[in-house]
């Protein structure tokens, strides 16, 4: 990492260990406690977006409330200027994706051990009322001793509020999306179960269940296609485990395991059988059961038994909440009995209600057309054919509200008589018209902006200092290959070249608009050349002195220049409101300066009182002790 920033004088950032579209993760040192931690720092551009800021803090709160040995612990959350950060447990090791790429297919024993730990972590989240929504091997950290830690609850959702989209974006990773997540339907714990199944499939085969050239095509495969059976790709996978995985990857959430904990218990029971059984009778449990089944291999096909055991483990014991609520309900019903008697006596002698309107007359060779608009395609087909009609799909089209694979329209319409064996023509929804965000980083804004506008995106531009040519895209949000809806705003951070935007307000008297700085790496003895661009906000009755300081990261002064603007040729009393002043400086780096990170700090103070002008608003910079932190400088040998 080019900079070793100290957050709140406690967390020293040492090296980048991961980066995404939302934040960068650093290996860091907690100076106060003397331990290594991981610090996730929200991208500064995101800090101005209330939606992403809320997501960032939601992650901290979600993970901090999850106390489980297989979930990365959250130690602290804080803010240093415009930097928002989460301090987490540092896990030495690699992520599961790296291990899959290196050595998959895994042995059955190893895959089961990993899957059980992942299920345990995600199951703990389900019990706490959360859905992870982005289970993938990149979010599973594997320590050298084999322990697993699930991380990144950045898009976790409460069970009571689980939309698939937020701000037009489809959150989640296309390779691991559940069908309902891809279709924009409501999510639940079975959605995480499906994603775990994709991870298991990848561990056991070395490949993903579905692959496609575009994210949209991939989402449609999750919705419509069945994966190749896992034991066809890897004959070492026993039939029993293949059946468990087939259930995990079911298209309908109701056909999967209810929670990750239930899947974990199923896998544990299956694993125990592999460890202890060669030829063993089925154990007796206190409930009706089928006849004993003989097991003839370490991992035999007794899936039904393992699932029953998992449900028994998950459901056994008194549910005292249910007992209390049941008692309350019973008392309430008994209490309503006198009221019911009164109501009956009052209204029993009233005349009968008006008869409903006559039903639609249907001839003997006709049937009543069912209304299937909004129904899932297969459910609609079954209903239509059960009525004695034929079902025909005549087209597909995108729809903003009707989910993918549901019926948008039908001809004839529902409720009308139709001849038996008549054809019902339906149009099927393809879900929202999602677009794939192209890769934009490194390209010129003049090239990418027309492309984005033609695709239907809205473009928001921000500028940032860079050695790249002016107008080059430095970062993009959403990231490349994200699936988003039309009219989504794509935020582009553009290189401003050597001009560093600051927009810092000093005491509502003067604005430090920007600073020209052509490089950030210097050798000992070299000179930093910079030009400050000021703008007067109002008339000033005092000549203020400008200070330009170079300090260590900890704050010790290394070099300084304190002088009136333009060397005294343009005192602040001569500035008029709105006037721009270009103010050049040269600052020498001491010959004996040690290699490392230094801060370039700027501000103004009164020569009469020796008090600095208050930094009312740091703008796009940071402020410390009423000095504007312009840029970090690297001194190298």
Distances (CA, A) of 548 to 280, 340, 444, 532, 589: 81, 85, 33, 10, 12
Q: Distance (Å, rounded) from C-alpha 431 to C-alpha 401?
A: 7
Using alpha carbons only, what angle is made at residue 418 by residues 415 and 420, rounded to the nearest 5 degrees?
Answer: 130
Using the 8-state DSSP alphabet, how is residue 403 labeled? P
CB 390 within 8 A of CB 417: no
Using alpha carbons only, what angle is made at residue 257 by residues 253 and 260, rounded to the nearest 5 degrees?
Answer: 110
Q: Distance (Å, rounded) from C-alpha 86 to C-alpha 88?
A: 6
Helix (H) or strand (E) holding 522: strand 521-522
Query: Strand, coil or helix: what is 494?
Result: strand
Look at strands 627-635 and 521-522 and give their pairing: parallel
Using alpha carbons only, what angle is made at residue 403 by residues 399 and 407, rounded to the nearest 5 degrees?
Answer: 80
Q: Distance (Å, rounded) from C-alpha 83 to C-alpha 252?
A: 42
Using alpha carbons only, what angle is made at residue 613 by residues 608 and 618, rounded to the nearest 5 degrees?
Answer: 165
Active site residue 134: yes
Q: Distance (Å, rounded) from C-alpha 554 to C-alpha 545?
A: 24
Query: Strand, coil or helix: what is 405?
Result: coil
CB 392 within 8 A of CB 427: no
Q: Distance (Å, rounded) from C-alpha 634 to C-alpha 137?
A: 36
Write out the DSSP string of 573-606.
GG--TT-EEEEEEEEEPPTTPPSEEEEEEEEEEE
Task: Output 210-216 pairs: Cβ under 8 A, ≥24 positions apart.
Answer: 210/175, 214/436, 215/174, 215/434, 215/436, 215/481, 215/482, 215/483, 216/434, 216/436, 216/483
Terminal Cα distance for the chain, rounded = 17
Cis previous bond, 105, omega within 30: yes
**What's the chain's length in residues?**
637
Query: Strand, coil or helix: what is 544?
Result: strand
Distances (CA, A) of 506 to 120, 435, 547: 53, 44, 13
Using the 8-state DSSP alphabet, how is residue 173 labeled? -
Structure tokens at 164: 């698939």
Using the 8-state DSSP alphabet, how is residue 558 labeled? E
Burial class (CB in 10 A: 0-12, 13-18, 19+), 310: buried
Q: Distance (Å, rounded) from C-alpha 118 to C-alpha 254?
A: 21
Q: Distance (Å, rounded) from C-alpha 334 to C-alpha 358?
A: 39
Tell me the β-bridge partners of 134: none
Active-site choice (49, 76, 80, 134): 134
Query: Strand, coil or helix: what is 424?
Result: strand
Q: Distance (Å, rounded) from C-alpha 423 to C-alpha 390?
A: 5
Write out the DSSP string of 600-625.
EEEEEEETTT-PBPPEEE-TTSEEET
Using alpha carbons only, what angle is made at residue 550 by residues 545 and 551, rounded to the nearest 5 degrees?
Answer: 120
Catalytic residues: 134
């Amino acid at each position: 990492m080019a900079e070793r920033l100290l957050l709140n004088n406690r967390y020293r950032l040492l090296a980048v260990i991961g980066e995404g579209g939302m934040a960068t993760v650093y290996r860091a040192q907690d100076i106060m406690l003397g331990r290594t931690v991981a610090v996730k720092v929200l991208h500064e551009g995101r800090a101005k977006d209330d939606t992403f800021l809320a997501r960032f803090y939601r992650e901290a709160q979600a993970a901090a409330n999850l106390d489980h040995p297989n979930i990365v612990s959250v130690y602290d959350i804080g803010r240093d200027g415009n930097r928002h950060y989460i301090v987490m447990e540092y896990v030495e090791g690699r992520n599961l994706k790296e291990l899959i790429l290196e050595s998959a297919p895994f042995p059955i024993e190893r895959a089961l051990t990993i899957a059980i730990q992942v299920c345990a972590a995600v199951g703990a989240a389900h019990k706490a009322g959360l859905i992870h929504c982005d289970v993938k091997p990149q979010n599973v950290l594997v320590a050298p001793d084999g322990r697993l830690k699930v991380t990144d609850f950045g898009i976790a959702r409460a069970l009571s509020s689980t939309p698939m989209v937020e701000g037009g974006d489809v959150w989640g990773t296309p390779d691991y999306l559940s069908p309902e997540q891809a279709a924009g339907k409501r999510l639940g714990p079975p959605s995480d179960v499906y994603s775990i199944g994709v991870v298991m499939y990848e561990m056991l085969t070395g490949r993903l269940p579905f692959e496609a050239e575009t994210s949209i095509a991939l989402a449609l495969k999750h919705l419509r296609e069945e994966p190749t059976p896992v034991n066809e790709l890897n004959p070492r996978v026993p039939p029993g485990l293949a059946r468990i995985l087939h259930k995990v990857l079911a298209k309908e959430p109701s056909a999967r395991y209810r929670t990750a904990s239930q899947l974990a218990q199923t896998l544990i029971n299956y694993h125990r059988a592999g460890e202890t059984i060669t030829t063993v009778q089925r154990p007796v449990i206190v409930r009706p059961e089928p006849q004993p089944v003989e097991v003839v291999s370490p991992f035999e096909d007794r899936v039904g038994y393992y699932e029953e055991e998992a449900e028994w483990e998950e459901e056994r014991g008194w549910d005292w909440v249910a007992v209390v609520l049941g008692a309350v309900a019973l008392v309430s019903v008994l209490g309503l009995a006198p009221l019911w008697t009164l109501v009956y006596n009052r209204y029993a002698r009233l005349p009968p209600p008006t008869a409903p309107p006559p039903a639609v007359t249907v001839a003997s060779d006709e049937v009543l057309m069912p209304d299937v608009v909004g129904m899932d395609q297969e459910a609609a087909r079954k209903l239509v054919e059960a009525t004695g009609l034929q079902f025909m799909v005549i087209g597909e089209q995108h729809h903003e509200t009707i989910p993918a694979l549901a019926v948008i329209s039908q001809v004839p319409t529902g409720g009308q008589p139709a001849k038996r064996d008549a054809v019902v023509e339906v149009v099927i929804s393809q879900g929202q018209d999602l677009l794939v965000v192209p890769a934009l980083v490194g390209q010129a804004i003049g090239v990418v902006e027309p492309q984005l506008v033609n695709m239907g995106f809205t473009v928001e531009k921000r500028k940032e200092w860079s050695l790249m040519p002016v107008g080059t895209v430095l970062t993009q949000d959403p990231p490349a290959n994200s699936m988003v809806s039309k009219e989504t705003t794509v935020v582009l951070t553009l290189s401003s070249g050597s001009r560093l935007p600051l927009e810092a307000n000093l005491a509502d008297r003067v604005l430090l608009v920007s600073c020209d700085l052509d490089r950030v790496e210097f050798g000992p003895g070299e000179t930093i050349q910079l030009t400050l661009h000021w703008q007067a906000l109002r008339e000033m009755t005092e000549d203020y002195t400008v200070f330009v300081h170079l300090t260590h990261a900890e704050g010790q002064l290394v070099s300084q220049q304190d002088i009136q603007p333009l060397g005294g040729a343009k005192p602040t009393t001569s500035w008029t409101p709105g006037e721009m002043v270009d103010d050049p400086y040269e600052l020498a780096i001491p010959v004996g300066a040690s290699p490392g990170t230094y801060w370039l700090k700027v501000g103004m103070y009164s020569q009469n009182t020796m008090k600095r002008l208050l930094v009312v608003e740091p703008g796009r910079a940071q402020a410390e002790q009423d000095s504007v932190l312009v840029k970090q400088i690297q001194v190298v040998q």
